[in-house]
Amino acid sequence: MNCSTWLSLILVLVQPWPCFTSTQNDSTQNTDQSFTAVRRVKRGWVWEPLFATEEQPSTVSVYVGQLKSDLEKQDGNLKYVLTGEGAGSIFTIDENNGKIYVTQKLDREKKPFYTLRAQAINRKTQLPVEPDSEFIIKVRDINDHEPQFLDGPYVATVPEMSPEGTSVIQVTATDGDDPSYGNSARLLYSLIQGQPYFSVEPKTGVIRMASGMDRETKDQYLVIIQAKDMVGQAGAFSATATVTINLSDINDNPPKFQQQLYYMSVSEEDPVGTTVGKVFAEDGDIGENAAMDYSIEGDSSDVFDIITDNKTQEGIILLKKRVDYESKRRYSIRAKVVNRYIDDRFLKEEPFEDKTIVKIDVEDADEPPVFTSENYVMEIPEESVSGTVVGMVTARDPDNDDSPVRYSIVHGMHLKRLFSINEHNGTIITTKPLDREIASWHNITVTATETRNPEKISEANVYIQVLDVNDHAPEFPKYYETFVCENAVSGKNILRRAAGNCC
């Protein structure tokens, strides 16, 4: 073998190769192993994983790791050179042994790793003994960040009486530390304030109901949640968030009357539609859950009615039919109230209704006289002499004192010349003869006035028919004049020949 052939073989054997090759290269290497062994000897970099811890003091250099080529013979012929991010400023290398040091304080949250390149150079020839190789120095995290609730404060609403375990809201804290390394960013949630009504899942931050709660007892709760990193170990940081939890209303309360017995009064003078009084039922719920409907049970519903004031939720009792003190002086009615919207979940516990008694006294009033009829129809023959009785009207005071009544005729002075009335007994008489041929009907209005209270007046209509009598002889409508001849035969019609010569 000649000299040139030996030199080529030596160069192939000492050719350096990086130890970091792709999976594809490895598979190719396995396939062509026999050929590779013949053609070259694989060389490469050898080093342990490199890490630099953040926030280390910058006053001294801190050892990171060591680079080493497998061509290193420990004879001082190799020199290590470092290039890339932070080389020479943040990171330095001992060119004799490949040891790397960090000289500045690092912040993983600003830059989590640095990419550098290493090269081994022959000191004598100043040529690289193998290709430069890229490697990464990772910045190792320490627990230097506190958890933070970025979305707080929180507000949530949950229906009252929700069963235990009902999810209310999830709170989430963030931690700037590395979640993939150590426990610096591993958070645990706990309840600082809110027991025994609420609980929180330690790993998820989901707040749940711990017991059924009644909005009518308390409608708002302030819960304080703590997030602690390092899984709660020593040296952990923590943060808190407030959660305002409102209980929304459900219809779990029936209406209840404030009184079991009400007393009211109504005057017999009051017109239909008069407000007699109000009843009120309390309901611990709010909104539509407190809406009520009132009703009246029994026979009194034809005299009184009840409606709901939708603003105040009061039951307003109205007069449906006028009352009479002399007929009935007291009514006892049963009022009922029910929820307008009923939640079937609570019907089994108790009926969502209530009842009360309302006693209504009828007050006596000084009423005007009452005629036995609103309208009277009378008859009288024409040409009756003055003072003839036409008929009689009757009115009486409905009150207990039965005040005397005085009668009179109104509406037109001319009627007084035809009729008069006895102010004490209501007898109507003529004041002059009537002529049917002039007027066949006469309409008069009679009043009845209490003697003790002249303001109490009533009226009645009296219709008087004038009856015809045979008081007129027949009359021809006109004067007739005719002529008859002296020799006219018997039975001759002479009226059609009223003029001319009939002979």
| Res 253: pLDDT | 86
DSSP notation for 471-484: ------SS------
Q: Are residues 381 and 320 in the same domain?
A: no
Kindly state whether residues 350 and 409 are assigned to the same domain: no
In a domain, 483, yes or no: no
Helix (H) / strand (E) containing 356: strand 353-363
Same structural domain, 271 and 323: yes
CATH number, domain containing residue 422: 2.60.40.60
Q: How many residues can be counted in the chain?
A: 503
Assess if residue 474 is contained within a domain: no
103/174 same-domain check? no
Residue with token string 């190799």: 78
Q: In this structure, is residue 297 part of a structural domain?
A: yes
- Are 462 and 379 a contacting pair, CB within 8 Å? no
Task: Say if 77 falls within a structural domain.
Answer: yes
What is the C-alpha separation between 338 and 347, in angstroms, rounded?
12
Residue 26 and residue 122 in one domain: no
User: Which of 95, 115, 140 is at the close of a domain?
Assistant: 140
Tell me: do 263 and 355 sit in the same domain: yes
> For tokens 């290039």, what's the residue?
83
- Asked if the structure places residue 499 within a domain, the reply is no
The residue from 317, 333, 363 where one domain ends is 363
Specify whether 196 is located in the same domain as 292: no
Looking at residue 57, its amino acid is P
One domain for residues 378 and 358: no
Q: Per the structure block, which two tokens stand in for 437?
A: 């041929």
DSSP string, 69-127: ETT--SSS-EEEEEEETTBTTTEEE-TTT-EEEE-S---TTT-SEEEEEEEEEETTT--
19 and 83 in a single domain? The answer is no
One digit per residue, the tens of pLDDT, for the chain of length 503 reads: 433 333 232 222 233 333 333 333 333 333 333 323 333 334 455 555 677 676 677 677 888 888 877 777 777 788 889 999 988 888 989 888 889 999 888 888 888 899 999 888 888 888 988 888 888 888 887 777 889 999 889 999 999 989 999 999 999 999 887 777 777 788 999 999 999 999 999 999 999 998 889 898 999 999 999 999 988 777 788 999 999 999 999 888 889 999 999 999 999 889 999 999 999 999 988 988 899 999 998 777 899 999 999 999 999 999 999 998 888 999 999 999 999 888 777 665 566 789 999 999 999 888 889 999 989 999 999 999 999 999 999 999 887 777 799 999 986 655 557 899 999 999 999 999 999 988 999 999 999 998 888 888 999 999 999 998 877 677 777 777 777 777 777 777 766 544 444 44
Q: ∠59-60-66 over CA atoms, to 5°?
A: 145
User: How many domains would you assign to the chain?
Assistant: 5
Of 223, 248, 273, which residue is a domain's last?
248
> What per-residue confidence (pLDDT) applies to 135?
87
Separation of alpha carbons 405 and 326, rounded Å: 19
Q: Is residue 19 part of a domain?
A: yes
Give the pTM. 0.56
CB half-sphere exposure, 304, CA atoms < 13 A: 30
Expressed as residue numbers, the domain containing 345 is: 256-363
Considering the domain architecture, whether residues 123 and 194 belong to the same structural domain is answered as no
